[in-house]
């Protein structure tokens, strides 16, 4: 079973990202769960969301404490939240930042997701862009499934733009490697 934790700020769509990832895994023929941290949600405040992916039906119902992967939608959270708390030793972090390199004590990928989102979506909402970057870094689901899940979540032009943002971020990470 693979467990992913998303860190974001209320209003940045972390929960939607966790759900889109779960849906993408489902499109890949896997079992999945996507759920928010069961706590107080306020716009701008640090929030978390989770995804579980497995080859068999997922029956575990607790929150995630030892993720395999962490996605940080906002580098500003790094000073407020210990984003790598409980992360497995060989875990991976993907951070939205303009910095090229970052040492968080784990394998870390960085991407200027805000820049990509502003360029393609015109707003600094980075959940779909970060999802593309995360898949570029980890390949835990296929980018085609992510795009399909995005198009089914956001209708029409909004969906197309978000799928594009995910794809650009995916390719950006792939080209870095």
Partner 1 sequence: MEKIDIITGTTAAAMAAKLSNVEVIAAYPITPQSHCVEALAKYVADGELDAEFVKVESEHSAMATCIGASATGVRTFTATASQGLALMHEMLYIASGMRLPIVMLNTNRALSAPINIWCDQQDSIAERDSGWIQIYAEDNQETLDSVVQAFKIAEDEEVLLPVMVNIDGFILTHTVEPVAIPDEEKVREYLGIYEPKHAYLDPDRPITQGPVGVPECYMETRKDLNDAIEGSREVIKRVNEEYYKLFNRKYGNGLVEGYNLEDADTVLVAMGSVCGTIKYVINELKEKGKNVGLLRIRTYRPFPKEDVVEMLKDANNVAVLDKNISLGFNMGALGIDVSSVLKNKKVCNYIVGLGGRDITPQDIEEIISHVEGAKDGETKWINLKE
Burial 123-147 (b: 16+ CB within 10 A, else e): eebbbbbbbbbbbbbbebbebebbb
x/- site string to partner 1, residues 114 to 153, per CB under 8 A? ----------------------------------------
Contacts 24+ apart (CB under 8 A), 118-127: 120/161, 120/164, 120/165, 120/168, 121/161, 121/162, 121/165, 125/12, 125/13, 126/12, 126/13, 126/73, 126/74, 126/96, 127/8, 127/12, 127/13, 127/14, 127/16, 127/17, 127/20, 127/73
Using rule CB under 8 A, residue 154 touches partner 1:
no
Instruction: Find the shortest distance in angstroms from Cβ 165 to partner 1.
Output: 22
Which residue, 53 or 95, is less far from partner 1 as judged by CB? 53
Residue 102, both tokens: 């970052």
Among 34, 91, 136, 159, binds partner 1 (CB under 8 A): 34
Among 58, 78, 102, 151, binds partner 1 (CB under 8 A): 58
Among 2, 10, 28, 63, binds partner 1 (CB under 8 A): 63
Please state, in angstroms and rounded to a whole number, the distance separating the CA atoms of residues 161 and 148: 12
Using rule CB under 8 A, residue 35 touches partner 1:
yes
Beta bridge partners of 109: 94
Using rule CB under 8 A, residue 172 touches partner 1:
no
Among 11, 42, 45, 65, binds partner 1 (CB under 8 A): 65
Which residue, 26 or 154, is less far from partner 1 as judged by CB? 26
Using rule CB under 8 A, residue 11 touches partner 1:
no
Among 12, 19, 128, 129, binds partner 1 (CB under 8 A): 19
SS3 23: helix
Residues in contact with partner 1 by CB under 8 A are: 19, 22-23, 26, 31-36, 38-39, 58-63, 65
């Amino acid at each position: 079973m693979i467990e992913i934790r998303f860190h974001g700020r209320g209003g940045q769509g972390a929960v939607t990202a966790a759900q889109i990832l779960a849906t993408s895994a489902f499109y890949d023929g896997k079992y999945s769960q996507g759920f928010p941290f069961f706590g107080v949600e306020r716009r701008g405040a640090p929030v978390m969301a989770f995804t579980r992916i497995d080859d068999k039906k997922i029956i575990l119902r607790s929150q995630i404490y030892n993720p395999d992967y962490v996605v940080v939608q906002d580098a500003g959270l790094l000073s407020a939240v210990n984003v790598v708390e409980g992360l497995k030793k060989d875990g991976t972090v993907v951070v939205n930042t303009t910095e090229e390199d970052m040492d968080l004590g784990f394998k870390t990928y960085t991407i200027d997701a805000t820049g990509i989102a502003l360029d393609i979506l015109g707003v600094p909402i980075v959940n779909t862009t970060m999802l593309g970057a995360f898949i570029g870094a980890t390949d835990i689901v296929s980018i085609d499934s992510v795009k399909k899940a995005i198009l089914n979540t956001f209708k029409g032009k909004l969906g197309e733009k978000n799928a594009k943002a995910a794809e650009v971020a995916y390719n950006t990470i792939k080209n870095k490697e």
